[in-house]
Amino acid sequence: MTLRVNDVTGGYGSLPVLKHLSFTVPDGAIIGLIGLNGAGKSTTIKHIIGLLTPQAGSIEIDGATLATDPDAYRQAIAYVPETPVLYQELTLREHLELTMMAYGLDPEATWPLADAMLERFRLGNKLEWFPANFSKGMKQKVMIVAAFMTQAKLTIIDEPFTGLDPLAVHDLLDLVTAARAAGRSVLMSTHILATAEQYADSFVLLKDGQVRASGDVASLRDQFALPDASLDDVYLAMTKEAADA
């Protein structure tokens, strides 16, 4: 398994947001992380990428943890945040060069991959631009190119479609499916359920910091006793559970 979250309890301060959270993201899979606002999706991602430390439990990527092998762990992950984070004093070219240095990538081998994605996202003629010249959608495309050019074992995408035009959404989904075909993994947190249902192999549904259900759509239908339900139907059923609790 690429990513293994083992019985993780954690959050901010002494009050846990996540409670005994366990799930796996196998090689060559697209996993949708689904839940209501406040269910723990962003907190889960922050624990995986190392911004938060579990109060209990562990998180492993191919057996490596941040404690046992921090370099291998970090280089196995690429991350596209919901809100783009760019350095105002660096050009697009310099952002990509910095990413190559951080991941120890060979520029001669990596630039052709980056250039192809830049052209795909219509950024090929903007390498000397600074972030102040970019729209939010363009900034998000920079984050996507930087993440996917690393060819990391696991790419984590938090609400990836925010600010993207329909063509860019299509281009991103092409990258996601190409990563899966190459044996890499994608963990995608999103509220765009119809798209998630179409592209993800299985799902982790979070409720109150715990896994309410997991598996493919057929398995979710069984767990919620909703034959022929869509992912949206399952989500609404989980919403009703939360409202009735």
CATH number, domain with residue 237: 3.40.50.300
Q: How many CA atoms lie within 13 A of 3 on its CB side?
A: 27
Domain range holding 185?
3-244
First CA to last CA distance, the chain = 34
pLDDT in tens, 80-123: 999 999 999 999 999 999 999 999 999 999 999 999 999 999 99
Indicate whether this model's pTM tops 0.85: yes
- Kindly state the tokens that stand for 32: 């949708």
Give CA separation, 155 vs 54, 127, 183, in Å: 20, 23, 12
Mean pLDDT (the chain) is: 94
Question: What is the count of structural domains for the chain?
Answer: 1
pLDDT in tens, 65-83: 999 999 999 999 999 999 9
- Using the predicted structure, report yes or no on whether residue 242 has a pLDDT greater than 80: no
